[in-house]
Structure 1
Amino acid sequence: MAGDRVGERGTPTRSQLEQLLAEVRVVAARGHPGGYERGCRDGQRCVFGPSWTDDYDGPGGHDGCDTRNNVLSAQLTGVSLRPGTHDCVVTAGTLDDPYTGARITFGKADAGDIQIDHVYPLAAAWDMGAVHWPLERRVRFANDIGVNLLATAADANQDKGDSTPSEWLPPARPNHCFYAGKYLTAAIRYDLPVTAADSAVLHDIARSCP
């Protein structure tokens, strides 16, 4: 499918985005089935499994490293790893932020400046169909390092929250085509829809792409 060809690497062309838009399901609006609870403490529902678990079947799963460190290793350049962690724990590197366009240094003093974003937000996925998935599929979605996760500036990640494209776009306008490709790829790969409002915004982005 088109969703297997773009969005995971590089920036998609207008034609590629149009292919994705022709394939993705569109619904009138985001539902609100209730019951979403990300937390995994005693008494919490933990609907997408423990954060950044390594215990799942998928890219990066069962490799001895948690998902967060897998994402950092994949996206940062000049990576330094903590000795004795089997080349797992990232201690330093540089991120070319896919949302803000800024170059961010990652290290002990400023590790909190970089967070990991779910491009198609977990809460939105829950509302748009994941409420009906088995837990195994939800855990894979929450940790899919190839399709749905990006390291980005903490401020951008927090500003985005669980917003979808009609509610939030990356601050760096030149990165909108990349973001649209990632969002649509995640939606198609997991058979999640986009809302009519999201579809309109993503069509507008596609028309601006080379």
Structure 2
Amino acid sequence: MTPTTVTRTRTTGRRMASLVVAATSVGALLFTPGTAVAAPTGNATASAARVPLQDAIARLRVAEEDRSGYDRAAFRHWIDADKNGCTTRAEVLIDEAVLPPEIGAKCALAGGRWYSYYEDAYVDGGAGLDIDHMVPLAEAWDSGASAWTSKQREAYANDLDQPRALVAVTAKYNRSKADQDPSTWLPPYEGARCTYLTDWVTVKTKYDLAVDATELDTLRRLAAQCPNVPIEPGTP
């Protein structure tokens, strides 16, 4: 089978990116992020540098997860950080829209169209969309965020700097995913899974969040089937 490539470019806001769909030799479709990334500066930390996906996975800290004391309220989210009247949720919806919504008083959004990559579907109107924390809040807590300050957890829950940290998807699949890691949940659309894996590893790397042994094995297995693209986590 001859590989084919289809490119869809998002040009709104902070999420200027290309998602490339490539048919593999076994006929499955894999999303390959095509976002242009800049070379790290001389002062960049290790977490900010571009690293091939498989190398990034190899560098993840391995530790047992611990949910002791977890409370979702420990992560204050959907704030209006820049005081422009739009919460983080609205900012993500505006930035990810493939057909921009109308923005009314108090950042009320009307109309618009979005692409929910978990199931390869377009959605009209934002009412049926959730904003998914790529690495769920409970998973982040388990993996190291329990030791963070409240301000650090707030910054994590509202990260508009890392385009992979928050994603607009249908409520159905955001809630199906819940707080699971890739060892127990993956997007139902197989063609989305390499993008999802890259997104997950990018966020875990940026925030130095640990993985447990089962999660690490899953990431390694999945990455072997995906392009070894460079990721650029940035700094928390």
| 1:35 and 2:72 aligned | no
In terms of fraction of residues, the more strand-rich structure is: 2
Quick one: distance in 2 between partners of 1:148 and 1:141?
8
The residue number in structure 2 matching 1:21 is 57
Q: Structure 1: which 4+ aligned runs deviate by more than 4 Å?
A: 7-10
How far apart are 1:197 and its partner, in Å? 1.0
**Using CA pairs below 8 Å that are at least 6 residues apart, which structure has the higher relative contact order?**
1
Number of the residue aligned with 2:92: 71
Q: Larger % of helix: which?
A: 1
Aligned pair count reads: 182
Matches within 5 A, 1:75-154: 75-85=96-106, 88-106=107-125, 111=127, 113-145=128-160, 146=162, 147-154=164-171
Which residue in the other structure is 1:3 paired with? none
Provide the rounded CA distance (Å) in 1 between the counterparts of 2:222 and 2:113. 28
**Alignment partner of 1:208 is 2:225:** yes
AA of the residue aligned to 1:76: A
Cα RMSD (Å)? 2.2
Q: 1:8 to 1:177 in 2, by over 3 A?
A: farther
Which residue in 2 is equivalent to 1:53?
79
CA–CA separation in structure 1 for the residues paired with 2:57 and 2:151? 27
CA offset digits 1:179-198 (Å, max 9, x no partner): 11111111111110112111
Q: TM-score, normalised by structure 1?
A: 0.79
Q: Give unmatched runs, 5+ long, in structure 1.
A: 1-6, 39-45, 56-60
Amino-acid identity (%): 35
User: What is the TM-score when the length of structure 2 is the normalising length?
Assistant: 0.71
C-alpha distance in structure 1 between counterparts of 2:83 and 2:151, whole Å: 14
Counterpart amino acid of 1:135? S
- Equivalent AA in structure 1 for residue 75 of structure 2: F
The one-letter code matched in structure 2 to 1:169 is L
Which 5+ residue runs of structure 2 have no aligned equivalent? 1-14, 20-31, 35-50, 228-236
